[in-house]
């Protein structure tokens, strides 16, 4: 770029313009609180005027050969000149007359404050665009400012199985961020995105979708370019978010099928998160107990259980599955899960006195996912009495007598993810042994 005095000086305008703004604000405040003397005020008004003049000069240089919107520029320029003029009048009044405290000067000072705000605001819009402030504001302020806030897309009331990937998850993004320039009436680059057919036809550069390959699709490439690239899309407005790009990539990579149900396409965790965040739909894999049903509940068995000191709770979010805990800390008589053994999902026996035979009874709980034996006198021999429960995910043995043999046995529990062994006789060696056999199990052994 060749040296150009106008451009060089002009670019200082946005910087220098803050000098008169700052000085004027300070001077106005001093005028209001009435603490500054005539001399000080005169100097301050002089500096206001002088720096305003300099700002006008740099501003004028900046507009040379620029393409700012003429309307705003007109008002910004004249408001700026008015600011300088009023500052000059206040300076002269204060420095050379005794009338500087006259009530009428408050009209000038008030006008100055207003004009300064409006002129400054227009200036901000000129450099940053009209939406600069509201763009970053919370939704309700955008509404107040009459700024069009896109409605949040909420698909939570649609059955997640009937959500069509393109129609419900992809097109809304294109509609929000691309269609204003890519529609039937005005198809920039000859690309109309409003129908699947027209989108597949592509634009001036040919097809924009390579089914099965996002990186080869112009539609995706354009939104992932550097924002400085002239080919970056959208050319104006809010770029796609990270999750929106992830969704577009996912749909393209999985075949760019316009009819495919989202649930039939494989999803990465980012895609699941993106859909959750943007559309309030949860596609994360549901645990089996939310999809399956337990055997029909035997109410008389439940009643009998409750009578012998147990608390039986129906688990919400699942069908016919129960949580069983103790009301006190004594198990009255022998425990017999009998008819409800396949209904028990959680068994909480913590802080209680357990009989030896209880442990082998636990083996019948085929659907048990969580077992709490913390603060009981359970030892490794007791744990060995519990068969490898197929669905057990977590067992709490905190504050028991177990040692490494218990861990060795627990390595056979296929679904186990977490074991609590704090304050037991378990050794670091035993934990390491379990980790080498079953790296998927987390051992919570307190502060290590």
* Cα 117 to chain centroid, rounded: 34
Q: Smallest distance from the beta carbon of 350 to ligand HEC, in angstroms?
A: 55
Measured CA to CA, the distance from residue 300 to residue 336 in angstroms comes to 13
Q: Which is nearer to ligand HEC, 187 or 312 (CB)?
A: 187
**Residue by residue, what is the 3-state secondary structure of 187-242?**
EHHHCCCCCHHHHHHCECCECCCCCCCHHHCHHHHHHHCCCCCCCCCCCCCCCCCH
Q: Which is nearer to ligand HEC, 122 or 214 (CB)?
A: 214
Beta bridge pairs of residue 311: 325
CA torsion sign for 236, 240, 245, 248 is negative
Q: Smallest distance from the beta carbon of 135 to ligand HEC, in angstroms?
A: 15
Q: Which is nearer to ligand HEC, 185 or 307 (CB)?
A: 185
Measured CA to CA, the distance from residue 389 to residue 411 in angstroms comes to 11
The answer to whether 354 contacts ligand HEC (rule: CB under 6 A) is no
The answer to whether 198 contacts ligand HEC (rule: CB under 6 A) is no
H/E element, 311: strand 310-314
Q: Smallest distance from the beta carbon of 150 to ligand HEC, in angstroms?
A: 13
Applying CB under 6 A, among 65, 150, 237, 414 the residue interacting with ligand HEC is 237
Q: Which is nearer to ligand HEC, 245 or 326 (CB)?
A: 245
Residue 163: helix, strand or coil by DSSP?
Answer: coil
Applying CB under 6 A, among 110, 139, 150, 205 the residue interacting with ligand HEC is 205
Is the preceding omega at residue 234 within 30 degrees of 0, hence cis?
yes
Q: Smallest distance from the beta carbon of 136 to ligand HEC, in angstroms?
A: 20
Q: Which is nearer to ligand HEC, 139 or 205 (CB)?
A: 205
Smallest Cα–Cα separation from 46: which of 94, 1, 80, 7? 94
Buried residues in 104-134 as b, exposed as e (16+ CB within 10 A)? ebeeeeeebeebbeebbebbebbeeeebebb
The answer to whether 202 contacts ligand HEC (rule: CB under 6 A) is yes
Q: Smallest distance from the beta carbon of 65 to ligand HEC, in angstroms?
A: 24
The answer to whether 240 contacts ligand HEC (rule: CB under 6 A) is yes
Q: Which is nearer to ligand HEC, 175 or 379 (CB)?
A: 175
Q: Smallest distance from the beta carbon of 196 to ligand HEC, in angstroms?
A: 15
The answer to whether 178 contacts ligand HEC (rule: CB under 6 A) is yes
Q: Which is nearer to ligand HEC, 126 or 233 (CB)?
A: 233
Asked whether the beta carbons of 109 and 31 are under 8 A apart, the reply is: yes
DSSP 247-284: HHHHHHHTT--SS-BGGGS---HHHHHHHHHHH----S
The answer to whether 182 contacts ligand HEC (rule: CB under 6 A) is yes
Q: Which is nearer to ligand HEC, 92 or 181 (CB)?
A: 181
Measured CA to CA, the distance from residue 412 to residue 128 in angstroms comes to 64
Applying CB under 6 A, among 231, 286, 296, 311 the residue interacting with ligand HEC is 231
The answer to whether 218 contacts ligand HEC (rule: CB under 6 A) is yes
The answer to whether 13 contacts ligand HEC (rule: CB under 6 A) is no
Q: Smallest distance from the beta carbon of 193 to ligand HEC, in angstroms?
A: 7
The answer to whether 184 contacts ligand HEC (rule: CB under 6 A) is no
The answer to whether 416 contacts ligand HEC (rule: CB under 6 A) is no
HSE-CB at 155 with a 13 A cutoff on CA atoms is 23
The answer to whether 278 contacts ligand HEC (rule: CB under 6 A) is no
The answer to whether 156 contacts ligand HEC (rule: CB under 6 A) is no
Q: Look up tokens 């961020």; give the residue.
A: 177
Measured CA to CA, the distance from residue 27 to residue 46 in angstroms comes to 11
The site that binds ligand HEC (CB under 6 A) totals a number of residues, namely 24
> Which tokens is 152 given?
């949040």
Applying CB under 6 A, among 162, 235, 264, 334 the residue interacting with ligand HEC is 235
The answer to whether 233 contacts ligand HEC (rule: CB under 6 A) is yes
Measured CA to CA, the distance from residue 242 to residue 259 in angstroms comes to 24
Can you give the binding site for ligand HEC, defined by CB under 6 A? 177-178, 180-182, 188-189, 191, 202-205, 208, 218-219, 222-223, 231, 233-237, 240
């Amino acid at each position: 770029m060749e040296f150009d005095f106008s451009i060089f000086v002009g670019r200082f305008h946005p910087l220098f313009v803050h000098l008169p703004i700052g000085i004027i604000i300070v001077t106005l405040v001093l005028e209001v609180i009435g603490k500054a003397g005539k001399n000080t005020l005169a100097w301050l008004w002089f500096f206001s005027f002088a720096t305003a003049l300099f700002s006008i000069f740099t501003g004028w240089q900046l507009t040379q050969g620029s393409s700012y919107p003429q309307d705003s520029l007109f008002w910004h320029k004249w408001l700026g000149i008015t600011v300088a003029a009023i500052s000059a009048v206040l300076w002269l009044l204060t420095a050379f007359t005794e009338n500087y405290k006259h009530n009428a000067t408050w009209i000038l000072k008030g006008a100055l404050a207003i004009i300064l705000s409006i002129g400054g605001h227009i200036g901000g819009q000129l450099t940053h665009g009209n939406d600069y402030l509201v763009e970053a504001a919370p939704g309700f302020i955008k509404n107040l400012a009459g700024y069009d806030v896109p409605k949040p897309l909420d698909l939570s009331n649609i059955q997640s199985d009937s959500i069509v990937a393109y129609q419900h998850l992809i097109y809304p993004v294109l509609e929000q961020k691309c269609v204003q320039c890519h529609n039937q009436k005005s198809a920039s680059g000859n690309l109309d995105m409003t129908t699947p057919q027209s989108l597949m036809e592509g634009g001036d550069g040919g097809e924009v979708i390579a089914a099965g390959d996002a990186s080869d699709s112009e539609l995706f490439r354009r939104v992932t370019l550097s924002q400085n690239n002239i080919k970056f899309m959208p050319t104006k407005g809010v770029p796609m978010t990270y999750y929106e790009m992830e969704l577009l990539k996912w749909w393209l990579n999985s075949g760019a099928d316009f009819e495919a149900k989202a649930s039939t396409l494989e999803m990465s965790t980012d895609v699941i998160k993106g859909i959750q965040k943007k559309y309030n739909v949860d596609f994360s894999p549901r645990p089996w107990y939310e999809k399956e049903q337990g055997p029909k509940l035997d109410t008389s068995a439940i009643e009998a259980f409750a009578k012998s000191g147990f608390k039986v709770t129906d688990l919400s979010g699942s069908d016919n599955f129960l949580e069983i805990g103790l009301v006190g800390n004594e198990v009255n008589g022998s425990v017999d899960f009998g008819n409800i053994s396949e209904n028990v999902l959680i068994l909480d026996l913590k802080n209680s006195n357990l009989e030896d035979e209880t442990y082998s009874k636990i083996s019948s709980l085929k659907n048990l996912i969580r077992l709490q034996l913390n603060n009981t006198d359970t030892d490794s021999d007791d744990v060995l009495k519990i068969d490898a429960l197929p669905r057990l995910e977590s067992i709490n043995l905190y504050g028991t007598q177990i040692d490494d043999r218990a861990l060795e046995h627990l390595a056979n529990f296929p679904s186990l993810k977490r074991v609590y062994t704090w304050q037991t006789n378990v050794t670091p060696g035993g934990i390491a042994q379990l980790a080498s056999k079953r790296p998927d199990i987390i051992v919570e052994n307190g502060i290590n």
